[in-house]
Amino acid sequence: MSGAALAFEEISHHFGAGAERVDVLDRVSFDVPAGSVACVVGPSGCGKSTLLSLAAGLARPSAGTVRWDGREVRLGPNLDLGMAFQQPGLFPWLTVRQNVAIGLRTRGKAKAEALAVADEFLATVGLSEFLQAYPSQLSGGMAQRVGIARALALHPRLLLMDEPFAAVDAFTRIKLQQELKALLKRYAPTVVFVTHDVSEAIVLGDVIVAMTKRPAAVQRIIPVARQDRDRSSPAYATKLAEALACLGVTPESGGE
């Protein structure tokens, strides 16, 4: 199953009310065409995660509409969806493989099949030796990889990823980026990938959506071409500089 189009239409969102009201999103509009990858970058705390929650139907926007496959996203489960959270939120009473399999069970897969798919995706993220481990026995990076496997194993048409590689070491991170690219090519889901790593956004994204600081609005949408993704090419360096400048950093001073 390949993806469908996701559209953010004039999304504004705030938390709290009165004097404690915090505006997080300010009339955010952009489209993610079916089967494409949008990487959202922006200063931390700018509302990127909120944007994903709204797309996932985990919260309702204060104003505006999110459309998935032409229909308005409502609160509640969406069986097209797979999401990797920043805090992986593994169920502590289930083993690693049960954590990955449970979503497939919810979607009606037989137990044996669900476990087989779980094992396959846990192998992809390099956790074959931890199938029977409990979440409390994992490091932060390993838990995050289980969260990624859990989202991918659903074969989602809409894949939302909230800084999924944040707690993963640099070496594993590059390996996971490559694995993810291969999987995206195979299943062609529609993807929104939140990161604060601009180089990661260039490698994975078809477009980079650069956000302003809170309340976040879309600052610029930067298309990424195939030749921009080669980390050793001048095009990559130019694209990196362009994206970073957009976020108000010059490459010399920017860490990430």
Partner 1 sequence: MSAGVWRDRVVLPLAGVVLVALVWQGIVALYRLPVVVLPEPWAVARTLAGLLPTAAFWRDVGVSVFEFAAGYSAGVVLGVGAGLLLGESRTFRLTASPVIEALRFIVPFAWIPLTVLWFGTSYTGKIVLVAYAVFFVMTVSTTRSIMQVDPTLTRVGTMLGMGRAALAFSVHLRAAAPAIASAARAAAAVGWIAVVAAEYIGASAGLGVMITNAATSLQTATVIAGMIAMGLIGAAVSAAVGWLARSRLDYR
As a whole number of angstroms, the distance between CA 183 and CA 158 comes to 13
Structure tokens at 52: 């994903």
Length of the chain: 256
CA 245 to chain centre: 23
CB-nearer residue toward partner 1: 109 or 239: 109
Residue 131, by phi and psi: left (phi above 0), alpha (psi -120 to 50) or beta?
Answer: alpha
Looking only at residues 130 through 149 of this chain, which bind partner 1 when binding is defined by CB under 8 A?
134, 136
Among 2, 15, 22, 79, binds partner 1 (CB under 8 A): 79
Q: Give the nearest distance from C-beta 184 to partner 1 in angstroms.
A: 19
As a whole number of angstroms, the distance between CA 42 and CA 56 comes to 20
CB-nearer residue toward partner 1: 58 or 210: 58
Q: Give the nearest distance from C-beta 103 to partner 1 in angstroms.
A: 4
As a whole number of angstroms, the distance between CA 174 and CA 171 comes to 6
Among 44, 87, 178, 233, binds partner 1 (CB under 8 A): 87
Question: Is residue 73 a contact residue for partner 1 (CB under 8 A)?
Answer: no
CB-nearer residue toward partner 1: 16 or 92: 92
Question: Is residue 15 a contact residue for partner 1 (CB under 8 A)?
Answer: no
Q: Give the nearest distance from C-beta 24 to partner 1 in angstroms.
A: 17
Q: Per CB under 8 A, which region of 75-83, 113-121, 211-219, 222-230 contacts partner 1?
A: 75-83
**Are 207 and 224 a contacting pair, CB within 8 Å?**
yes
Among 16, 18, 76, 255, binds partner 1 (CB under 8 A): 76
Q: Give the nearest distance from C-beta 108 to partner 1 in angstroms.
A: 9
Q: How far apart are the first and last CA of the chain?
A: 34
Q: Give the nearest distance from C-beta 234 to partner 1 in angstroms.
A: 40
Instruction: Find residue 33's DSSP bridge partners.
Output: none
Among 2, 10, 21, 77, binds partner 1 (CB under 8 A): 77
CB-based burial of residue 19 (10 Å sphere; 0-12 exposed, 13-18 middle, 19+ buried)? exposed
Sign of CA dihedral 157, 162, 163, 164: negative
CB neighbours of residue 146 within 10 Å: 25
Looking only at residues 90 through 129 of this chain, which bind partner 1 when binding is defined by CB under 8 A?
90-93, 102-103, 106-107
Question: Is residue 82 a contact residue for partner 1 (CB under 8 A)?
Answer: yes
Site string for partner 1, 48-67 (x = CB under 8 A): -----x--xxx---------
Give backbone dihedrals phi and psi of 14, rounded to 5 degrees, phi first.
Answer: -140, 155
Q: What is the CA radius of gyration of the chain?
A: 18
Residues found near partner 1 in the complex (CB under 8 A)? 53, 56-58, 76-79, 81-83, 85, 87, 89-93, 102-103, 106-107, 134, 136, 150-151, 154
